[in-house]
Structure 1
Amino acid sequence: MPVHKGAPALLSAGTLCAALLLGGCANSAPPAPAAPAGTPAAAATTGDSRPAGTPPGAARGAAGPGPVSSIASEPAPAPRLPGVGPATQAFVPDGTTQALVVTGATADDNFSSAILYEKGPGGHWTPSAGPWPTRNALRGWTADHTAGDLRTPIGVFRLGDAGGRLPDPGSRLPYDQDDEFAISGTGFHGEPLEGSFDHVVAIDYNRVPGRTPLDRERPLGAEKGGGVWIHVDHGGPTQACIALEREPLRELIRALDPAREPVIVMGPTPELAR
């Protein structure tokens, strides 16, 4: 699955941005590669457990004319993100050292939680921000997103571009300030949507990386949705996006570092644990 790697109920009003954000996106995950296994090397021994050909009285394991027994050690498995199984971890690029993990309890849940992790020199992932409460799509999650299904795509996706109606809060990602991020209307619970796109981070699902989140090109086709963002929480479920409260979102935007090749890992806990 790439890393960018969502609906009959529509907003009562909105701009072109609303259609972008409230579309959808998806991907699938192949199995993780098997870990290499070492093969123990057997050595012939004498009756007193000395390698064959070792002179009597020589210390066990000392060098001698015969072979010394050895066992090939298996390499330790690479550390994984907390709660993430090998099949999902396999989609995290080797160069990635920053990952936002967003998890929901079940496939049909639209409440979720996010933690930002960073990978240290020893290869271990440690939390650097969060946990933060988040919202996802009205009907939960899917591994095969289509436009209008009201589900958030499951997978591992790159985070490379940001933007919003308001000025840049200190992003290291490219940030596009544009009035087209304005939105009006109400959400699924009648909550106002105004301000939802004050700040956004584009999730690289069915989009061209390196462009403004407003860009409408859909490499997988329009039927696979698009415009899946992390945006300001408006107090209800989304069409496909991840919604984060305003201040945590601003904190996240400042923290994301393109040099760390950041990704989002998102989905229900049982799926991500595979």
Structure 2
Amino acid sequence: MIRRRTAAALLASPLLLTGCGGGAGAAERRTAARRPAPAPTPATSAPRAPRGIPGLGPERSAAIPARCEQAVVVTGRGKDSPLCTVVLHQRTDAGWRAGPAWPAHNALRGWSAHHLIGDLRSPLGVYTLSDAGGLLPDPGSRLPYHRSGGFHSPGTGFEGEPLEGSFDYVIAIDYNREPGTSPLDWTRPLGPGRGGGVWLHVDHGGPTHGCVSVAKAHMKDLLRTLDPGRHPVVVMGYADWLAH
């Protein structure tokens, strides 16, 4: 009996009550003590990366090879605009994870589904990224890096800006070129009339002839991150086209 009374006394003790909002009577405290404990709240899971790449519709997403684990997405402001944004997406177990968005330029007259030499438009499409190079020493590129004085870029751009340093670092976009060669190789599988020499390169502050340009620091980031073992591609076009 002593043990029972002791247990009852403990049951009524306010020391067994937890949480805020005191002032309940002994009967309420006993009732509260007899109530079953609430079910535990499931732990909040970490945010999941999107399964697909935001901004890409089913047709563009399907054009990305299944083995690709790195995609540089170039999103133009409009079909005829030279302004765009570049984001590197990397595939994880949970889906695609986006890096920071970088302001960039594309060709003066925007985009073309049938790029021709001299049309001053960047080619729409999904292209592999196989080779890099530049005027400056290799900054730690994972892609094969071809250093050459041939990357010298004299003159001025469409807005009078100096082009010097634009080709300090470049990544060849595999449009109308032979992968596995220097970006300076002028082999044109589609013929010379379809243009070529389309690169990611250092931004000079204005529109390009057909390339995509980002700041020098971002070019170094790309060179150090893009891994041929992860089969990188570039997905490039204006936003409405990418959404299909």
Q: Is contact 1:80–1:86 with CA below 8 Å preserved after alignment?
A: no
Q: Does 1:140 align with 2:104?
A: no
Q: Distance in 2 between matches of 1:238 and 1:169?
A: 24
SS in 1 for 2:71: strand
The residue identity in structure 2 corresponding to 1:269 is: A
Counterpart check, 1:161 vs 2:131:
yes
Q: Does 1:230 align with 2:189?
A: no
In structure 2, C-alpha distance between the alignment counterparts of 1:237 and 1:94, rounded to whole Å:
33
Alignment of 1:196-211 (within 5 A): 196-211=166-181
Deviations 1:143-181 (CA, angstroms, capped at 9, x unpaired): 111111000011100011000000001000000011111
C-alpha separation in 2, matches of 1:157 and 1:252: 16
1:124-149 CA-to-partner distances (Å, cap 9, x unmatched) read 1111x321000000000111111110
1:250 is the counterpart of 2:230: no
The one-letter code of the counterpart of 2:222 is: L
Q: Which has the larger radius of gyration?
A: 2
Give unmatched runs, 5+ long, in structure 2: 1-49
CA shift digits 1:205-254 (9 cap, x unpaired): 00000000000000000010000000110111000000111111111110
Instruction: Give the letter aligned to residue 59 of structure 2.
Output: A
Instruction: Verify the 8 A CA contact 1:142 1:153 in the aligned structure 2.
Output: yes
Name the residue aligned to 1:187.
157
Alignment counterpart, residue 151 of structure 1, candidates 117, 121, 133: 121
- Structure-2 separation of matches of 1:148 and 1:163: 23
TM-score scaled by length of structure 1: 0.70
Which of the residues 44, 51, 65 maps onto 1:93? 65
- Encode CA deviations 1:65-89: one digit per residue, 9 max, x unaligned: xxxxxxxxxxxxx932111011111
Q: What is the letter of the counterpart of residue 196 of structure 1?
A: S
- 1:86-123 residue CA offsets vs partner (Å, 9 max, x unmatched): 1111110010010010101210110100110011123x
What does residue 10 of structure 2 align with? none
Q: CA deviation at 1:183?
A: 1.4
Residue 121 of structure 1 corresponds to 93
CA distance in 2, matches of 1:130, 1:179: 31
Query: How far apart, in 2, do the equivalents of 1:130 and 1:146 lie?
Result: 32
Corresponding residue pairs, total? 195
1:271 to 232, 241, 244: 241
TM-score, length basis structure 2: 0.78
Matched position secondary structure for 1:271: helix
Considering only aligned residues, what root-mean-square deviation do their CA atoms show, in Å?
Answer: 1.0
3-state SS in 2 of match to 1:132: strand
Distance 2:86 2:100 in 1: 7
**SS of residue matched to 1:189:** coil
| Structure 1 CA distance for aligned equivalents of residues 134 and 115 of structure 2 | 25
Matched to 1:163, the amino acid is G
* Structure 2 Cα separation of the partners of residues 130 and 263 of structure 1: 17
Tell me which amino acid in the other structure corresponds to 1:263. Answer: V
Higher helix share: 2
Opposite residue 194 of structure 2, the aligned amino acid is: K
Q: State the one-letter code of the partner of 2:114.
A: D
Q: Which runs of 5+ in 1 are unaligned?
A: 1-77
Runs of 4+ aligned residues of structure 1 deviating over 4 Å after TM superposition are: none
The alignment partner of 2:153 has SS state of coil
